[in-house]
Chains A and B, each alone.
Chain A
Amino acid sequence: MYFHDVDDLDILYARMEREDAPPGLTPRVLGMVAHRSRQRRLHGAIMFAIGLMAAALLSFVVGFNLSASGILDVVGLQLQNLDLLGAAPLDFALGVAESTPWVPAILAGGGAVLAARALPMLMAPVLRVGARGNGR
């Protein structure tokens, strides 16, 4: 029978000797954490740069193809005659869809998503383990 909510485990723990951490463990752990946080930020920066460049390059291709295919001129002429838009809306939409460079457009979207997803990694805090207090 025990009092004050003390059980066998508490008694066992109380009998154990306190062991100090191995020498150098704390700085090593803190160093690894700091290294990981720096790596995370570096990966974020690389992902952001790749995503941004891919999105920009592929967006250029999308714009180039849209203009060169003449679909923008078709859209422009249709917009100048707005009453015609209602005459064949489905054919018009299908025509625009046919002329849209979907592959570069989707890849550009993927690049933008990659860059956006890299932002939290880029902003992750970097732990600095300095001489003062070993990061404490």
Chain B
Amino acid sequence: MSPHRRRVVAAVGLLVVALAIGGAITLGLVTAPSGLPDTADVALAQELPPEDSPEAANESPRHTAYGVIVAMHDQRIGVKVKAQAKPVIVLIRPITAVRLNGKPAQLEDLKVGDEVAVVGRPDPRGLVARTLTARQRSG
């Protein structure tokens, strides 16, 4: 096999590997269920546990939360996420940047049932939100 032909075959082989990986990732993305939790069986407008109670403890501290608002109380919101049964308690602080449908908004503009993506710092009492982007479902 000539060096030129070997280079071509090697390039084709690497292209096959890259296409297989890219195609498989795309297939995985397309076939996976939505990252949004199924809220059909979840009671909306739940009561949040008091801030200092053991029930309010952060079940699995993470830097992000993506789900549906199921409870709102004062400067705290409960977000039902897919990975855990108990809603994630999100603490809203004055520093928190809130966006609703792409526009700057206030916490009061949000309502139960909104889809939210929160980025922040995990805390024993909940996820301290730095940014909160919400999307209101039509209807």
Chain A interface (Cβ within 8 Å of chain B)? 48, 51-52, 55-74, 77-78, 80-81, 83-84, 87-88, 91-92, 94-96, 98-99, 108, 112, 115-116, 119-120, 122-123, 125
Contact = CB atoms under 8 A, between A and B. Distances in A.
Contact of B28 (A62, A70, A84): A62
Interface residues of B, number: 44
Contact of B97 (A56, A84, A94, A116): A84
A74 B130 contact: no
5 contacts: A63-B29, A74-B119, A77-B117, A92-B64, A119-B13
Interface of B: 1, 6, 9-10, 13-14, 16-17, 20-36, 62-64, 66-67, 81-83, 97, 99, 102, 117, 119-121, 130-131, 133, 135
B28 A59 contact: yes
A116 B117 contact: no
B133 A77 contact: yes
Given A60-B24, A64-B32, A92-B119, A70 B17 contact: no
B20 A80 contact: no
Given A64-B32, A87-B130, A122 B27 contact: no
A99 B35 CA distance: 12
A115 B19 CA distance: 13
B75 to A, nearest CB: 18
Contact of A73 (B17, B63, B66, B102): B66
A59 B29 CA distance: 10
